[in-house]
Amino acid sequence: MNKALLVILFLPLLLVGQSSLVDAETLIKNKKFAKAETILIAYIEENPNNLQASELLGDAYGHQKKWDEAITYYKQLVEAKPTEANFHYKYGGALGMKALTISKLKALGIIGDVKTAFLKAAELDPNHLDARWALVELYMQLPGIIGGSKSKSFKYANELEKLSVVDGYLAKGYIYEYDDEPELAEKFYKKAIEEGGSITCYDKLTKLYEKEGKSTEAITNLEAAHVKHKRNAMHYQIGKVCADYNVQLEKGEFCLKVYIENYSAKDGVPKAWAYYRLAQIYTHKKNKEEATIWIDKAIADLPKIDVFKIEKQTINNL
């Protein structure tokens, strides 16, 4: 049988196989992880040595928090191609996430492999940002007795800064925040905003202010983020802070109503949460009628959310 005829016979099969991988990848991007899992399991039964399929299946399992299954496939990838940094990174990440779900004693037996995987990823790829971020966080979170080290965390933060100034500043802000040095954390988050100014940069500073109880600073930062990025989601965040801290209630009410009026799925937070925040604001104002209207709307949209029901009881007691 000549080569041309072989191509004619088998090309459709190859295209069908490739189509399965494209379909699975699309499903993962659209957060339909269980469907992607089904397609990939069937594909791998026919193509057990396809690394792309194994990686996608590991990803599908990871998104579903099926850590043991994800670990199995990522480990196979590491063994099949030990020079691929991202395989080590994903393997370490899945191991790390599993460690968070088991007892501390059992987790101790995993941490060494987590660290080894991240270190290998960083060694293999001098430009791997995610591996360095993972090491920054790992060395800060581990107790010193099992390898935790602020100085090692700073080492990888400095490496991040050489690759991406913004990431370096954010990493240092994280280190100082974790180490309960909010003034220094604020300094580096502000530097990140000046350098890059992404939503992530603003968000880190806002959350720091919220944690420190600095509601005014949090609102000011959110307003600056909105001026720069013109995102409707900022309206919700401002309203949330106003409701949580019982401050600037008129501003919070206005922002939440703007958020609801301009809402789209890309804003992320369902409208029911904006209804809930409005109910909180009217509760602070002792306006039982308006608070009841908005909490009832929140419960109607998302009836299983416990905090909505608790707020309803609070309103009933006004």
> Residue 113 and residue 136: Cα distance in Å, rounded?
16
> Residue 190 and residue 194: Cα distance in Å, rounded?
6
- Does the fold of domain 246-318 match that of domain 136-230? yes
- Listed in order, strand segments (DSSP E) in 215-314 are none
> Residue 141 and residue 179: Cα distance in Å, rounded?
10
CATH entry, 23-125, from 1.25.40.10, 1.10.287.1400, 3.40.395.10, 3.50.40.10: 1.25.40.10
Please report where in the chains the tokens 């039964």 appear, as a residue. 45
pLDDT tens, position by position, 248-287: 999 999 999 999 999 998 899 999 999 999 999 999 999 9
pLDDT tens, position by position, 112-157: 999 999 999 999 999 999 999 999 999 999 877 677 899 999 999 9
CATH entry, 136-230, from 3.30.1330.10, 1.20.59.10, 1.25.40.10, 3.40.50.150: 1.25.40.10
Query: 3-class SS at 298?
Result: helix
pLDDT tens, position by position, 181-190: 999 999 999 9
| Residue 264: φ, ψ to 5° | -145, 165
Is 90 exceeded by the pLDDT of residue 11? no
231: which 2 tokens?
């995102």
Domain ranges of the chain: 23-125, 136-230, 246-318
CATH 3.30.70 fits 246-318, yes or no: no
Is 90 exceeded by the pLDDT of residue 58? yes
| Residue 198: φ, ψ to 5° | -75, 170
pTM above 0.95, yes or no: no
Is 70 exceeded by the pLDDT of residue 100? yes
- Listed in order, strand segments (DSSP E) in 73-176 are none
